[in-house]
Chain A
Amino acid sequence: MVLRGGHLCDPVQGWDGPADLYLRDGRVAAVLAPGAPPPAGQWRGWDASGFLVVPGPIDTLCACPAGGDPWREDLDSLSGAAAAGGYTALMVHTGSADPDRIGAVRGRAAGVRLHPVAALQRDGGLADLGLLQRAGAVAASDWPGQPVSPRLLRQALEYGAGVGLPVVAVAQDAELAGEGLAHEGPLAFALGLRGIPACAEEVAVARAAALQRSGGGRLHLAALSSSAGLEWLGAEVTAAVSAHHLLLTDAALRGYDTAAKLAPPLRGEADRAGLVAAVRAGLLFLASDHRPTAPEEKDGTFEAAACGASAVETALAAALEVLDPAAFVRACASGPAAAFGLPGGTLGVGAPADVAVFAPRSWRVDWAELRSRGRCTPLAGRRLAHRAVLTVVAGRVVYADAQTAFTEA
């Protein structure tokens, strides 16, 4: 297939302009100037002029759905929702230290690529990181759940380095966060919600970074909410931020909106602006932090509500509200691919044919229209300027927007 005339953005190759993108046998066959004579062979053409064409976005943080009941998220609904949001790959945090489970997620045929992330601990000790890596895990993580002890985190980093497994850590000190519910600040105080101080994150980031510095290994912090710990990041210590934290502040909690109860919590405007600047500067990756919830988990009081929201369908479009195309691709495609050694991240010739296309089409987020079975988003009612219209994984179309008439050219 060929995507003609779209705005192709690929910082790895230095491309940021109109191009014809040729895909064949699951790989990029050629990238030519618009209208240049096609390579030999038959091409089915899609007119992408006016659209943004990027290397397939990879989500670094996404909960592995438990499934079970038909109304709960499972890997199929997750995959469908992610494809509709423009993702071509998901790092699925399984919370499992069982190599068979990792292998099952890895081998699962779904629309988008599923990269399983294993639990880094088992029974209070180190999980079998080598076996998990061989089973297909792309990282080991203490997310979701309580962060592990500094000693165990150090062991995981050191041992992970030996078996080629990066470590993903929760960036929140459990003791400092306590039973907090919201960003510690004037709003939480006025609402009578226990606060989570920003230092709970800063301490966790600094401690994890110090452990990495002393023992080596690859460290990634799952999701930041504050700009306080940014100084600790570097080549071997990466971190991500969710699109929710780039667009929203704790003001979303007014009226005790449980959809805005997230972990880590939404913070103030200074933190939000600092995080946006850090993504623009290439310091942070973008994560969806997709954690779907059942309705009964969100319909009680703010205190009783579960943390999390459905995000794979909105995260990329939301990020495009505040990022230019180059920063966007670095944050959600080339950066994560390089950090975790994953296929994709670029559309150079020979790279996997994982592509997402975004149209400048304004839409209103409506929880009732979400494909995710979580159906809860703090962005509900908000208008976003971009929308994913075509998602291609290994040369196969996994999502095409019904409203966008792709003329075959």
Chain B
Amino acid sequence: MALRQKAVILDADAMTRALRRMSHEVVERHGGVSGLWLVGIRRRGVPLAQRLAAEMAAFERAQVPIGELDITLYRDDLTTSHERPQVGRTQMPGDPRGKTIVLVDDVLYTGRTVRAALDALIDLGRPKQIQLAVLIDRGHRELPLRADFVGKNVPTSRLEVVEVRLRETDGRDEVAIMEQVGATP
């Protein structure tokens, strides 16, 4: 099924501003960075977590530990998914017990990825608190979940696809809405 770009909803500058605002919100809510971890959901959540940490380092003068979470083995939609991702590695900066963990992902949609990420995270040890930061919230939740920090809320149709492109993975920073060509609404 072919996809055609419909609109760019976030360019590089807007993305930087959104991430800067989110990093401030996280620190404000947490009252500093002590005991705070940023854990990116592979793949694009990982560079986003690194960017948030870099922002925090600039104004808090402290490095927030970063983790990487691979949720392939926790997904409940493997049999319906068309893409078959390679199982990646999970790396945590230490023992998660007692930590406040901010899960970072690019897009919040049905909530199934976050559900899997919560299972995966809790299996590694019991954190004090888990919060969720996403660059884009596009709605259409299928589970009772919400994000604590959102870069941009974007109303979408289920037939559309939100593509987050990052320098680290795609060579440039932007978020675009794609629509299916020839699809019947």
A and B touch in the complex (CB under 8 A): no
Q: Which residues of B contact A (CB under 8 A)?
A: none
A residues touching B (Cβ–Cβ < 8 Å)? none
